[in-house]
């Protein structure tokens, strides 16, 4: 992202310099008259931070918004569909000015017409998102282009650096709803974003239709199966688009005319602004090419194939070909100019794919009977859980094109919530919770994050002892195509839910993990630095691991003189394991070895005790306690537990 920095006073310039220092390579600090600074930034930057009053910024922006080419301000990457969130802007000056006056409450995003030629959809630009920062640096106001222009996200980034408070007035953000133009889909008719969003905010029913199940964030109850509703959201890669009454729309520009009858002509549906059409990243182009093919020939062929198949250009998310064509200049240029990844496959992999139109001529040339069809299918399967050809190969003089449609994979994210304190929960964990439509977890952990979830989030909670059930449930829901969060305390990969979930999960779902602060790390920070050298985590619970195995591991850790962090040390029914473990460790280290006991680290009721092997009382320990047993080198320094790292310079 390129960021233009505009300032009028010495304080503004100093704050702008702080941003430039924090984000090297991203920022341009402009000089000269403020109006000239803003004009240059408007032309050269994707986003702008103006250290000016909002009123002054509005007055300076007004002529830029009113210019005939206002929708082409800011260079923006020449991009295609779902591989970029950049869009042009076709809103009028009056609409944009209204947005400014309301603090950027309405979206300003727009896209080019689907199916443009040559190329896939054609290039598009966006007006720069604009953030205003006051003279004292207290507020970072997302003024223009909150979603598509990136102003909302930039306001948060600016606030992190300057210690300001982000001010975001976009209606969906303010109410905790996902922006309809921020779902990861291209917007085919941006003029419908505002009226459909307004209907959602007003509580009106909005009918949601989709060709396939996509892993979306939680949606409000009034956006769903509401046939007959006045507003609709349609997620499709198909052309022409029809509303639920069967009325067509060809993706063309709208005007202010209302539909004349139920058999409305092309364009009237968009004019009514009743159906918001979103283009999912569902199509992959497979392209074969002769040496020396021109980019223009590929572009014209792709446009023709998509048009004849009735497929939306904005839904193209990748280009695929054979390894031997990875350096084909025309093909590389075609993908690069549209922001599409170019995926290549060895001939042997392509040859193993069953296709409807194999060619022995192609086999003789590149070692596989199919490039276009096979590559499209392989790439689509790699990006989804299944794939099918929707346009068989079509040839021009020097190129062939085929199109495959992927079946989207559901998403499972395994989230570690940390030890309990809200400020030890990572921002990524919060973001992933809000990006999920279903949250699965232990009831007490769900209660910790319930206030963070978007309206409409489905909660699947259960009590202690149902770990396998939770893991299986989360995986199965993801297999159905949903965006699922499986939560646990601490780090999800440490004695938590990641392991059982990944045992059940196959390659038909997307799995990611969000690390968290473990109980051992939280306890260590409270005790001092007991984990300053080599250490090991051991669970004393013999519910899943035989005690004989645990004993052998304790003996090995004791002989290796490692600091030992004991999880699940003692429960009401398991009282013998902790004394036995301490006896094993005590046989290999002095009786004065420090031991730290931390109960409910970072939570209400937190208790910290520093004792020794000879003085520790196991009765003080329960399942909410982490026990850290020092190594022979661990000592107490000024009331803190420290295991020296053994740096050579410390011995001098």
Q: Which residue has the tokens 């022995």?
A: 360
Q: Distance (Å, rounded) from C-alpha 520 to C-alpha 529?
A: 11
Residues 488 and 527 in one domain: no
What would the pLDDT profile of 339-391 be if each residue is shown by its tens digit? 999 999 999 999 999 999 999 999 999 999 999 999 999 999 999 999 999 99
The pLDDT-based confidence of 13 (bands split at 50, 70, 90) is very high
Residues 504 and 552 in one domain: no
425 in any annotated domain: yes
Residues 111 and 129 in one domain: yes
34 in any annotated domain: yes
- Residue 169's Cβ-side half-sphere holds a number of Cα atoms within 13 Å equal to 15
Average pLDDT over residues 126-133: 90
| Residue 271 clears pLDDT 80, i.e. is over it | no
The pLDDT-based confidence of 148 (bands split at 50, 70, 90) is confident
Residues 595 and 575 in one domain: yes
| Residue 228 clears pLDDT 80, i.e. is over it | yes
Domain-ending residue, one of 154, 175, 196 = 175
What would the pLDDT profile of 475-510 be if each residue is shown by its tens digit? 999 999 999 999 999 999 999 999 999 999 999 999
| Residue 629 clears pLDDT 80, i.e. is over it | yes
- DSSP letter for each residue of 179-207: PGGGSSSEES-GGGHHHHHHHHHTT--EE
The pLDDT-based confidence of 285 (bands split at 50, 70, 90) is very high
Contact 329, 425 (CB under 8 A): no
SS3 142: strand
Helix axes 93-101, 54-66, angle to 10 degrees: 170
Domain residues for the domain of 341 are: 283-407
288 in any annotated domain: yes
More confident residue, 99 or 66: 66
Q: How far is CA 161 from CA 14, 166, 167, 273, 423, in A?
A: 13, 11, 15, 40, 18
Helix axes 10-22, 151-162, angle to 10 degrees: 100
345 in any annotated domain: yes
Residues 159 and 62 in one domain: yes
| Residue 108 clears pLDDT 70, i.e. is over it | no
- Give the per-residue pLDDT at 266: 37
Residues 170 and 207 in one domain: no
The pLDDT-based confidence of 68 (bands split at 50, 70, 90) is low
Q: Distance (Å, rounded) from C-alpha 509 to C-alpha 606?
A: 39
Give the Cβ contact number of residue 234 at 10 Å. Answer: 23
**Where residue 499 sits, what CATH number does that domain have?**
3.40.1010.10
Contact 397, 391 (CB under 8 A): no
| Residue 288 clears pLDDT 80, i.e. is over it | yes
Contact 113, 251 (CB under 8 A): yes
- Give the per-residue pLDDT at 243: 59
Q: Distance (Å, rounded) from C-alpha 269 to C-alpha 274?
A: 7
| Residue 74 clears pLDDT 60, i.e. is over it | no
- Residue 11's Cβ-side half-sphere holds a number of Cα atoms within 13 Å equal to 10
Spatial neighbors of 256 by CB under 8 A, at least 6 apart, are 271
Q: Which of 75-89, 214-228, 471-485 has the lowest mean pLDDT?
A: 75-89
Residues 251 and 287 in one domain: no
45, two tokens: 């930057």
**Where residue 609 sits, what CATH number does that domain have?**
3.30.950.10
- Give the per-residue pLDDT at 102: 36
Q: Which of 269-273, 291-295, 556-560, 625-629 has the lowest mean pLDDT?
A: 269-273
63 in any annotated domain: yes
- Give the per-residue pLDDT at 177: 81
State the chain's mean pLDDT as an integer.
Answer: 87
Contact 531, 643 (CB under 8 A): yes
**Where residue 144 sits, what CATH number does that domain have?**
3.40.50.11220
Residues 311 and 190 in one domain: no
* 288, β-bridge pairs: 400
Burial of 649 (0-12, 13-18, 19+ CB in 10 A): exposed
SS3 288: strand
| Residue 70 clears pLDDT 50, i.e. is over it | yes
Q: Which of 331-340, 605-614, 639-648 has the lowest mean pLDDT?
A: 639-648
Q: Distance (Å, rounded) from C-alpha 173 to C-alpha 507?
A: 34
Q: Distance (Å, rounded) from C-alpha 114 to C-alpha 81?
A: 9
| Residue 255 clears pLDDT 90, i.e. is over it | no
Residues 382 and 466 in one domain: no
**Where residue 294 sits, what CATH number does that domain have?**
3.30.420.180
Contact 369, 363 (CB under 8 A): yes
The number of domains in the chain is 5
Residues 551 and 562 in one domain: yes
555 in any annotated domain: yes
SS3 501: helix
In the chain, % of residues over pLDDT 90: 77
| Residue 176 clears pLDDT 80, i.e. is over it | no
More confident residue, 562 or 255: 562
529, two tokens: 């630095």
Domain-ending residue, one of 407, 436, 470 = 407
181 in any annotated domain: no
pTM: 0.78
Residues 170 and 48 in one domain: yes
Q: Which of 70-74, 170-174, 450-454, 555-559 has the lowest mean pLDDT?
A: 70-74
Q: Distance (Å, rounded) from C-alpha 335 to C-alpha 319?
A: 7
- Give the per-residue pLDDT at 149: 87
- DSSP letter for each residue of 130-145: EEEE-TTS-EEEEEE-
65, two tokens: 């918004």
- Give the per-residue pLDDT at 116: 35
More confident residue, 90 or 127: 127
Give the Cβ contact number of residue 244 at 10 Å. Answer: 15
What sign results for the dihedral spanned by CA atoms 43, 16, 30, 140? positive
384 in any annotated domain: yes
Residues 24 and 148 in one domain: yes
| Residue 117 clears pLDDT 50, i.e. is over it | no
Report the candidate in 281, 401, 379 with the shortest Cα–Cα distance to residue 323. Answer: 379
- Give the per-residue pLDDT at 127: 85
- Give the per-residue pLDDT at 178: 83
Domain-ending residue, one of 275, 307, 330 = 275
């Amino acid at each position: 992202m390129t960021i233009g920095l505009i300032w009028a006073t010495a304080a503004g310039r100093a704050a702008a310099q702080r941003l430039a220092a924090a984000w090297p390579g991203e920022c341009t600090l402009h000089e000269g008259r403020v109006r000239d600074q803003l004009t240059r930034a408007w032309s050269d930057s994707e986003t702008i931070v103006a250290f000016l009053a909002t009123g002054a910024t509005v007055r300076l922006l007004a002529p830029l918004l009113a210019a005939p080419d206002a929708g082409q301000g800011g260079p923006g990457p020449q991009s295609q569909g779902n591989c970029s969130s950049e869009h042009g802007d076709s809103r009028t000056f009056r609409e944009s000015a209204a947005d400014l006056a309301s603090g950027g409450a309405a979206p300003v995003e727009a896209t080019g017409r689907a199916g443009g030629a040559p190329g896939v959809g054609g290039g598009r630009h966006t007006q720069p998102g604009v953030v205003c920062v006051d003279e004292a640096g207290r507020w970072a106001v997302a003024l223009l282009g909150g979603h598509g222009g990136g102003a909302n996200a930039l306001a948060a980034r600016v606030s992190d650096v300057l210690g300001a408070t982000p001010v975001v007035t976009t209606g969906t953000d303010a109410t905790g709803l996902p922006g309809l133009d921020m779902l990861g889909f291209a917007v085919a008719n941006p003029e419908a974003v505002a009226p459909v969003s307004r209907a959602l905010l007003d509580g009106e029913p909005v009918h949601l239709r989709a060709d396939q199940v996509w892993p979306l964030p939680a949606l409000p109850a009034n956006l769903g199966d509401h046939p007959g509703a006045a507003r609709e959201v349609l997620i499709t890669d198909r052309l022409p688009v029809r509303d639920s009454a069967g009325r067509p729309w060809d993706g063309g520009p709208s005007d202010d005319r209302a539909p004349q009858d139920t058999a409305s002509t092309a364009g009237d549906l968009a004019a009514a602004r009743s159906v918001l059409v979103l283009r999912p990243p569902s199509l992959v182009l497979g392209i074969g090419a002769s040496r020396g093919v021109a980019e223009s020939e590929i572009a014209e062929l792709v446009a023709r194939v998509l048009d004849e198949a009735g497929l939306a250009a904005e839904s193209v998310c990748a280009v695929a070909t054979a390894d031997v064509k990875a350096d084909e200049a025309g093909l590389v240029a075609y993908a690069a100019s549209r922001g599409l990844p170019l995926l290549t496959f060895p001939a042997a992999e392509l040859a193993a794919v069953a296709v409807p139109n194999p060619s022995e001529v192609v086999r003789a040339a590149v070692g596989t009977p199919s490039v276009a069809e096979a590559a499209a299918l392989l790439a689509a399967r790699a990006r989804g859980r299944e794939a099918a050809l929707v346009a068989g190969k079509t040839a021009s003089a020097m190129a062939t094109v085929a199109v495959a449609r992927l079946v989207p994979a559901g998403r499972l994210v395994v989230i570690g919530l940390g030890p309990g304190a809200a400020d030890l929960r990572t921002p990524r964990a919060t973001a992933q919770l809000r990006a999920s439509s279903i949250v699965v977890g232990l009831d007490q952990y769900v209660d910790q994050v319930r206030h963070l979830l978007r309206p409409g989030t489905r909660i699947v909670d259960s009590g202690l002892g149902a770990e396998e059930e939770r893991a299986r449930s989360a995986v199965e829901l993801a297999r159905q195509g949903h965006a699922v969060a499986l939560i646990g305390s601490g780090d999800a990969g440490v004695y938590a839910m990641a392991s059982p979930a990944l045992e059940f999960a196959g390659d038909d779902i997307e799995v990611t993990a969000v690390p968290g602060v473990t109980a051992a790390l939280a306890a260590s920070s409270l005790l001092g630095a007991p984990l300053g050298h080599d250490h090991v985590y051991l669970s004393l619970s013999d519910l899943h691991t035989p005690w004989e195995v645990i004993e052998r591991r304790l003996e090995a850790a004791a002989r290796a003189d490692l600091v030992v962090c004991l999880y699940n040390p003692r429960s009401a029914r398991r009282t013998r394991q902790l004394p036995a473990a301490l006896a094993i460790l005590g046989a290999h280290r002095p009786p004065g070895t420090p031991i730290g006991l931390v109960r409910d680290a970072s939570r209400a009721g937190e208790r910290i005790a520093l004792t020794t092997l000879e003085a520790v009382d196991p009765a003080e320990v329960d399942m909410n306690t982490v026990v850290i047993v020092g190594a022979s080198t661990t000592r107490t320094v000024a009331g803190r537990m420290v295991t020296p790292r053994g740096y050579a310079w410390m011995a001098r």
